[in-house]
Amino acid sequence: MSALPPGVYRLDGTVRTYAWGSRSAIAGIQGRPVPSPEPEAELWLGAHPGAPSRIGGRPLDEIVASDPRGVLGPAVAAEFGPRLPYLMKLLAAEEPLSLQAHPDAEHARAAFAAEEAAGLPPELRNYRDPHHKPELLMATGDFEALCGFRAPEAAADLLDRIDVPALRPIAALLRGPDGLREAFTTALTLSPVARTALVAEVAAACAKLGGVDSAYEIAARLAVHYPDDAGVVVSLLLNHVRLAPGQAIWMPAGNPHAYLRGVGVEVMASGDNVLRGGLTAKRVDVPELLRVLRFESLETPVMSPEPVAPGVVRWSPPVREFELTRATLTLGTPRVELVSDGPRVLLCVSGAITAGRGENALTLTAGTAAFVPAGVPTLPLT
């Protein structure tokens, strides 16, 4: 018998208390007292060994490892081995996150192996595992982010409007043949004295221009949190994205991004490799970040879903590890059916639903989750 026979199982996630998190968003969704004692940034739902969710008190990563074919299904186990290949998070950002990007799968494998061979201690490592970490985030409320490079000419025009002479060389680089790479690299590798002076000038100028373009307002806001950080300048090179509830952004390997504020459901390949360039107190490695970045403009950061059935839409990014499905139950659509041949994580973000049928049915309320192992091809929600 499988370690987890086909059915619907309550999944108890782990809340991560990072400094940029909200004291009200996750607690409020789950119906807990607000404010929470600490900033709550992410609710992890999955089998990542850093904070595995639990079923009946048992860690999900142990359950998967004990019977990967039964829990994941033969095809998923054959492709990814004895591990759930994705991780879901409920994310709540009260303050900006780091400027970051993730490596592709080939680079992650090679870099992890090199750090393992060198015997680097954890505090000097960039790579925690040999996996990539492409991400998709769907907003559940209003959400703001920086995602992907602007077109170089558009970024240069933004810089030109700021009356800061030290920005002119960076704007000129943007109009050159390899503009994004050269401008981004120059901004992040300034000497400490030059960086401090430039950030102060840019922050002051952007505070005056906030009503002209949202990019200026964001740079001024970032400078309040990080007054000596080149990420304030770099933010002007990135797309500013405002998501309404139900909209999503896709962040493939090498895509620079930084969440600014808001609540959303994030799904990613189950890796933990993050290269940071600023806007953080965590480890920053600019040379390694430059190695993984893709210096190409991203015209449309927002990814549209495909309709599946009444009340059901799906985002299918170009990776094998995951898809994200959103099901909305209304009086007009009181029941939907989700079809999949792999393992699923369910998260109820508002109201209540019942997943499954008969003795295997489980009712979820806002902020609660379930795990459905392989072997349940059609899952009704009511």
Q: Is residue 101 part of a domain?
A: yes
Q: Is 100 annotated as a binding residue?
A: yes
Contact between 4 and 55 (Cβ < 8 Å): yes
The yes-or-no verdict on residue 92 having pLDDT over 80 is: yes
**Is the same domain home to 87 and 194?**
no
The yes-or-no verdict on residue 359 having pLDDT over 90 is: no
- CB neighbour burial string for 175-214, b if at least 16 within 10 angstroms, e if fewer: eeeebbbbbbbebbebeeeebeebbebbbebbeebeeebe
Residue 21 gets which letter from DSSP? B
**Is the same domain home to 44 and 110?**
yes
The DSSP secondary structure of 150-174, one letter per residue, reads PPHHHHHHHHHTS--GGGHHHHHHH
pLDDT of residue 363: 97
Last residue of one domain, picked from the residues 236, 252, 274 = 236
Mean pLDDT over the full length of the chain: 96
**Is the same domain home to 89 and 198?**
no
Q: Is 132 annotated as a binding residue?
A: no
Q: Which tens digits make up the pLDDT trace of 284-333? A: 999 999 999 999 999 889 999 999 999 999 999 999 999 999 999 998 88
CA distance 179 to 36: 45
Q: Which tens digits make up the pLDDT trace of 234-263? A: 999 999 999 999 999 999 999 999 999 999
Q: Is residue 347 part of a domain?
A: no
**Is the same domain home to 83 and 220?**
no
**Is the same domain home to 254 and 125?**
yes
Of the listed 181, 195, 276, 344, which one is catalytic?
276
What pairing do the DSSP bridges indicate for beta strands 312-315 and 362-365? Answer: unpaired
Q: What is the pTM of this model?
A: 0.94
What pairing do the DSSP bridges indicate for beta strands 336-339 and 324-327? Answer: unpaired
The yes-or-no verdict on residue 96 having pLDDT over 70 is: yes
Query: For the residues 30-53, what does the mean pLDDT come to?
Result: 96
Task: Please state, for a pLDDT cut of 90, what percent of the chain lies above it.
Answer: 94
Whether 276 is a known active-site residue: answer yes
**Is the same domain home to 179 and 277?**
no
Q: Give the domain CATH number at 73.
A: 2.60.120.10
pLDDT of residue 3: 81
Token output for 279: 């806007």
Residue 164's pLDDT band, with cuts at 50, 70 and 90, is: very high
As a whole number of Å, the end-to-end CA separation of the chain is 29
pLDDT of residue 358: 87
* Secondary structure in 3-state letters for 231-268: HHHHHHHEEEEEECCCCEEEECCCCCEEEEEEEEEEEE
pLDDT of residue 332: 87
Task: Please state, for a pLDDT cut of 70, what percent of the chain lies above it.
Answer: 99
Report how many domains make up the chain. Answer: 2
**Range(s) of the domain holding residue 109:** 9-147+242-283
The yes-or-no verdict on residue 2 having pLDDT over 80 is: no
Token output for 280: 């953080």
- CB neighbour burial string for 323-357, b if at least 16 within 10 angstroms, e if fewer: bbbbbebeeeeeebebeeebbbbbbbbeeebebbe
Q: Which residues pair with 303 in a beta bridge?
A: 248
CA distance 323 to 344: 10
**Is the same domain home to 141 and 160?**
no
The yes-or-no verdict on residue 1 having pLDDT over 60 is: no
Q: Is residue 110 part of a domain?
A: yes
CA distance 176 to 273: 31
Q: Which tens digits make up the pLDDT trace of 181-197? A: 999 999 999 999 999 99
Among all chains, which residue has been given the structure tokens 């309320």?
365
